[in-house]
Chain A
């Protein structure tokens, strides 16, 4: 993992790097077993008691379940000082948690993307804020 000491997520409570690995901040319902991302995106099974929802971190690695290559810059409120376009967006599957999460793919060799390949969660620095902090989002990259 890169030095993240001076990094801040643009929106909090989505991505964590305190464990030394970059991981997505999910929540699990211990009654119906469903994982949510973001944490507030409740998706309970009908009839669930909704009791025992706890914060969990998703594993750092998953498999590429789908992807696309975006060929024009994303309009505001997306903001980046980097030239990322064209950029990949992946849907990464965390098998045990039975959830797929979307995110930007940081790999520049987009031709090498293949369904099923192993991906790891990372961050993408979008811009530097007035406090000189690197403002990041979660992202994925192929495991080399």
Chain B
């Protein structure tokens, strides 16, 4: 396998609902990535596209729709879906194509125009689609699942409502310094604790909404392109994990979970991160900054443990002691996280990797983590989907 580098990144800033066509968002991100890499569209030798599940034919074939905007060149185009880890799958396929020598330069992208309101069932077949049951019979929107786990955590480890609120305080502080974030207001602890409950113990400001956004990444093993790139970033590993039998987490869309744990919580993310550590020869102790999926304040805490940055039940202390702040031992989500962006399903994993790359390239202005050399992006998708990417400069 060859060394593979990120040479170009592009983002369409995260925003609310839009009437704009999703492919136009994608085009903005891809234009940015091409400009950053200083290459022409015709240098792209494969396209790995995250699909947009609410986009009909265009969304399911997002790579083809994008290609037609920039000009069809006959290169391999693969469209992929792994829930909220969709972007991780696109990056991994692009990486594998280039690392294996199938192609020299590849594009991974995702764009999502989230529908208004909640993401609900997409079929009416209760036998093959558990989403139908959890909506019609369970009355269980996504945050319910996180709240059920958070309640368990609070009883087991003593996580407090102040801890959950403090996550939002930090995320909003960083989001206020990120021009690409959707939410740019910084909140005080008191303001967060005064926000209404959505599902106890989680409050409105402690849960991320759905957003619109697009992100694109150009990676290469071409020595000429690497040499002329502005601070190329090495991909040390990019992996995908699925769930492991006996994982006690109640997964979104499921109606049940094991009562006796035979595997770690969020085992898909445990698996993805351990694969990445092994492949990269880099462990949690070597990581200078982490972008994790803070869909809720509960995720922020549990992911520090799932990915091995501390022991079980120790994340609250890391947070309280300021270790996860910019300037701390492990800055977490200097981007402002999902809390400041919202989920743009197929784009978010790619955006997380771009934030890491931009941090390593020293491009993050007021939210810059000084001297960061190694960064990690971690994703989470429903029903056992996860990806980990480790980068260095």
Binds A, one of B47-55, B142-150, B166-174, B305-313: B142-150
| 0 or 1 for each of A77-107: is its CB under 8 Å from B? (1 = yes) | 1111000100101010111011111111000
- CB-CB under 8 A from A40, the residues of chain B are 127-128
**Cross-chain contact A98 with B130 (CB below 8 angstroms):** no
Instruction: Give the CA-CA distance A137 to B361 in the complex, in Å.
Output: 54
Interface contact B133-A11, CB-CB below 8 Å:
yes
| Cα–Cα distance between A87 and B127 once the two chains are bound (Å) | 26
- Residues on the A chain within 8 Å of B139, using CB: 70, 74, 78, 80, 84, 87, 89, 104, 137
Which residue of A46, A66, A95 contacts B245 across the interface (Cβ within 8 Å)?
Answer: A46
* Residues of A contacting B127 in the complex (Cβ-Cβ under 8 angstroms): 40
- Of the listed stretches B254-262, B275-283, B317-325, chain A binds B254-262
| In the complex, A65 has a CB within 8 A of chain B | yes
**Given A65-B259, A102-B148: A71 in contact with B133 (beta carbons within 8 A):** no
Question: Nearest Cβ in chain A — how far from B171, in angstroms?
Answer: 22
**B250 within 8 A of partner (CB):** yes
In the complex, residue of chain B having the shortest beta-carbon distance to the beta carbon of A84: B139
CA distance A94 to B260 in the complex (A): 11
Contact partner of B148 (CB less than 8 A), chosen from A43, A68, A80, is A68
Chain A contact residues, majority secondary structure: loop
Q: A11-B136, A70-B144 are in contact. Are A37 and B255 (CB under 8 A)?
A: yes
- A75 with B117: CB separation less than 8 A: yes
A66 touches B120 (CB 8 A): no
How many chain A residues touch B (CB < 8 A): the figure is: 46
Task: Tell which of B7-15, B75-83, B194-202 binds the partner.
Answer: B194-202
Q: Is the CB of A100 within 8 A of B257?
A: yes
**Interface residue tally on B, bucketed by range:** 35 or more
Whether the Cβ atoms of A38 and B259 lie closer than 8 Å is: no
Say yes or no for B1: interface residue by CB 8 A criterion.
no
Q: How far is the CB of A83 from chain B (nearest CB, A)?
A: 13
- B141 in contact with A115 (CB, 8 Å): no
Chain A CB within 10 A, most for which of B118, B149, B200, B254? B200
| Closest chain B residue, CB of each to CB of A39 | B127
Q: Tell me, in angstroms, the Cα distance from A105 to B137 when the chains sit together.
A: 12
- Per a CB cutoff under 8 Å, which of A77, A87, A101 touches B121? A77
Q: Which 6 pairs across A and B sit closest by C-beta, in order of nearness?
A: A68-B147, A74-B139, A37-B256, A137-B137, A69-B200, A68-B199
Query: Given A11-B137, A65-B259, A79-B136, 6 other A-B contacts at CB below 8 A?
Result: A11-B132, A38-B255, A66-B148, A71-B196, A78-B139, A99-B257
**A-B contact list, 29 entries, CB within 8 Å:** A9-B137, A10-B136, A11-B132, A11-B133, A11-B137, A38-B256, A66-B149, A68-B148, A68-B201, A68-B202, A69-B199, A70-B141, A72-B198, A74-B140, A75-B117, A76-B135, A77-B120, A77-B121, A77-B136, A89-B139, A89-B147, A91-B257, A98-B260, A99-B257, A100-B256, A102-B134, A102-B140, A103-B138, A137-B139
